[in-house]
Chain A
Amino acid sequence: MSLRPLTAPWFHGPAGHEKIWLGCAILWCFVMSLMMPYWHFRGKQNSTGEAYTVKPADFFARTEKFVTANRVGTFKNPITNPMMQELPLVEPPAGGDAYLMGRMWQWYPALRLRLGETYRLHLSSLDLQHGFSLQPLNMNFQVLPGYDHVLTITPTSKGEFTIVCNEFCGAGHHAMTGKIFVE
């Protein structure tokens, strides 16, 4: 009885249907537990959390140096957005490092990447926490101030991609966007 103390001995092992269900459930837990390490070695999409501590001012300086060295043009936003009207368009060397800086309220700069090339994309924030959300692919990573979060990423589809901020960062949060073009 569920509401009164138990006075008769109550300890006995599972049996019958309960035993069958326990067996199925444990097996399923085992499958799910193995899927993650399996994917880590054999799958292509993983979050390893590679990161280095960095002062926001240093990350800003690295980003500026990266923009100056690799700028190929200017992105003008066709959508009315006072937070992001235009950004420098930057193309990192194939196989090289790219820097993307989150700040209230834009992703800086706009990037142009080559299909099938692999890049080390450095993500960090100058102020609050931000969320790197690449649309319409729907790939999401957390961005923290003080941490250089490195994604080793290979674009496998062409087109125009929008970076949306998906970590709340104040009144302009919903308007915080950026751009990645893949050619």
Chain B
Amino acid sequence: MSTSSHSLAAPGTPGRVCGTTGLGVCLDAQRFIKLNAVVGIVFLLLGGIAALLLALTRWQTVHLLPVDWFYRLLTFHGINMLILWILFFEVAILYFACTTPLNARLFSRKVAYTSFGMMLTGAVMVDYIIIAGQADVMMTSYLPLLAHPLFYLGIILVAVGTLIGVFNFFATLYVAKRDRSYTGSVPIVTFGATAAAIIAVVTLLHGAVVMIPTFTYSMGWTPQPDPAWYRLIWWGLGHQSQQVNVCAMVSVWYLLTHIVVGSRPINEAVCRTAFVLYVLFINLASAHHLLVDPGVGATWKIWNTSYAMYLAVLASMVHGFTVPAGVEIAMREKGYTNGIFGWVTALPWKNPAFSGTALSVVIFGFLGGITGVTLGTQQINIIAHNTLRIPGHFHVTVVGGTTLAFMALAYYVIPLIFQRDFIFRRVARIQPWLFGLGIVLLSFGMSFAGSMGVSRRSWDIDTQGVYGAAAHLWLGVLGIGGVLAFIGLLIFALLCVGTLLFGEKIEGRAMADWGTPPALAGSQPGSLAHDHYATKGTIVLVLTFLACFAVYYFANWKALTDVWPVR
């Protein structure tokens, strides 16, 4: 092998061997994982501060912010949380997934710097122009609303920078294969990350198609794009980018359940097919935002909203089975064989990476998934569009699902990549629970207020004179949930930053153990690999899930019959 090889095993390669896992770590990848993760967490904190102020404003009794700052910070919150925090952290995940699992070296340091520099420049530009009061247009910036050109330019820079990072990921996959840094098929974590990267490319191309003419319009160079066209293409960016999160989140589920419990996918072929379904069908879901729009017909709406017969929803239901099933198999093989749920009580619930993952699976599936599919049903959308039910849904997918999974991941990323043990480990153990509880309360508050007709993105509901005590009560629940979630987020950010500064260094030794279930006497690793009826607990859990889904789904059809006939 020449020194130009991109295998970590090649001589002279800047790499190290992890003292905990024994896996090789590329030092270039490590640097950019650090940079992107830290910047991501900074944007998470900024978006979180905005979130607190917004929740305290929608809590009608508190009603904290003045009207202009409410809409300004709502724009800021959306951009920082849904775009900046997520994209930076995802680039970090991509750099990990294409190097360590494949024993490969990152393709290019220069490309990684270019990507990071463009993303950061764009991000600062967007945040500055929003806070300067020149872009009070919400994250969606629906035309003819118009922001300062720097707003669009900043988003374009972030998008192009991310695309360059994604290119680095694909190039690393290519050179790793070419230089035979590994043999066999890529592991599920890398496979899932690849699916996320493919969706990201399609997403960011939509972003370019819609943002470039909007930018040139804002400069006065070209005429205004059509508002309906803008909505269609923008949601190719807006909805799909959240599906990049879903893919990345599911990969993190597989990664963390493997690290903590030693689980493996019970059927690689089915798991991978599910990821392929995401890639093929998720784009259609952009239609969920246009279900009560003029100009797009019922046939188009029905076909697209079902993602061609719900094939992407099927993919999530597959992962929702295989992830807990993998955990159950691993636990049963370790000797936790009591009854149907004996393995559940023996899980390491005090390990924040595990509790974060488990909460992410449950919140994403039971709350986020069920509400998402139901609200995205063409006719049911009539009683949900643009009400608080919509943010009530996506706060339990993107925040309770993705953000919580990414937080869980940080409890291993910081010891393993930054090589420092966490400070205040007892506080860390309760953080996912506090954050999860806050988000669930927030989502319940939003969803119930929304069911009573309270609209999203509205500074005040009393001027409208139609909402009673119940709606106000649910807005209070929203506020309390928001405060709790913010405290959870703040603890997370402080723990991360504090650990980076003051955490005990790990040099060549294993990280301090968060707690993993020990193998009991009589444990038989691999003994259940061919027992297809060993996942008794999981099958009960998923059938319970399906029952909840059906009840919620048909209850909404019933609610729809209560409104006026319309076509």
Contacts and interface: CB of A to CB of B under 8 A. Distances in A.
B301 A135 contact: no
A46 to B, nearest CB: 5
Nearest to A24: B546
A164 B144 contact: no
Given A2-B265, A3-B187, A142-B385, A30 B142 contact: no
Given A171-B67, A173-B458, A156 B546 contact: no
B306 A36 contact: yes
Nearest to B456: A166
A36 B305 contact: yes
A48 B187 CA distance: 45
Interface in A81-124: 81, 123
Interface residues of B, number: 113
Q: Of B142, B231, B373, B550, which is in contact with the most chain A CB atoms at under 10 Å from its CB?
A: B142
Contact of A129 (B100, B142, B459): B142
Contact of A18 (B293, B302, B322, B466): B322
Contacts of A175: 460, 463-464
Interface stretch (B148-156, B345-353, B447-455): B447-455
B463 A79 contact: yes
Interface stretch (B2-10, B426-434, B558-566): B558-566
Interface in B168-210: 182-189
B302 A139 contact: no
A137 B71 contact: no
Given A32-B377, A138-B453, A7 B386 contact: no
Interface stretch (B32-40, B82-90, B119-127, B267-275): B267-275
A138 B227 CA distance: 24
Interface string B365-394: 000000001000111011111110000000
Given A47-B381, A47-B382, A140-B383, A7 B564 contact: no
B382 to A, nearest CB: 6
A129 B71 CA distance: 16
B298 A17 contact: no
Nearest to B182: A5
A25 to B, nearest CB: 4
Contact of B292 (A14, A79, A142, A152): A142
Contacts of B325: 17-18
Interface residues of A, number: 87
B238 to A, nearest CB: 14
Contacts of B501: none
Contacts of B65: none
A47 to B, nearest CB: 5
B225 to A, nearest CB: 11
A154 B564 contact: yes
Given A2-B189, A2-B258, A45 B566 contact: yes
A135 B567 CA distance: 18
Contacts, number: 314
B382 A45 contact: yes
Contact of A173 (B21, B457, B532, B542): B457
B481 to A, nearest CB: 22
Nearest to B228: A144
A25 B314 contact: yes
A47 B455 contact: no
B223 interface: no
Contact of A29 (B254, B309, B384): B309
A21 B21 CA distance: 34
Interface in B15-60: 21, 23
B296 interface: yes
B311 A154 contact: no
Contacts of B493: none
A149 B292 CA distance: 10
B142 A40 contact: no
B463 A174 contact: yes
Contact of A153 (B300, B535, B549, B565): B565
Contact of A142 (B100, B136, B293): B293
Pairs of residues from A and B, 10 with the lowest C-beta to C-beta distance, nearest first = A16-B532, A51-B294, A149-B294, A166-B455, A2-B258, A29-B310, A7-B184, A44-B565, A166-B386, A140-B385
Interface of B: 21, 23, 67-68, 71, 100-102, 136-138, 142-145, 182-189, 226-228, 231, 254-255, 257-259, 263-270, 290-298, 300-302, 305-306, 309-311, 313-314, 317-318, 321-322, 325, 373, 377-379, 381-387, 451-453, 455-461, 463-467, 531-536, 538-539, 542-543, 546, 549-550, 553, 557, 560-567
Given A32-B377, A33-B306, A142-B386, 5 more contacts: A17-B535, A29-B309, A45-B567, A47-B292, A49-B297
Interface of A: 1-8, 10-22, 24-26, 28-30, 32-33, 35-37, 39-40, 43-51, 79, 81, 123, 127-129, 131, 133, 135-157, 162, 164-171, 173-175, 177
10 contacts: A2-B255, A22-B270, A24-B542, A26-B314, A40-B302, A131-B385, A137-B563, A137-B564, A138-B383, A148-B294
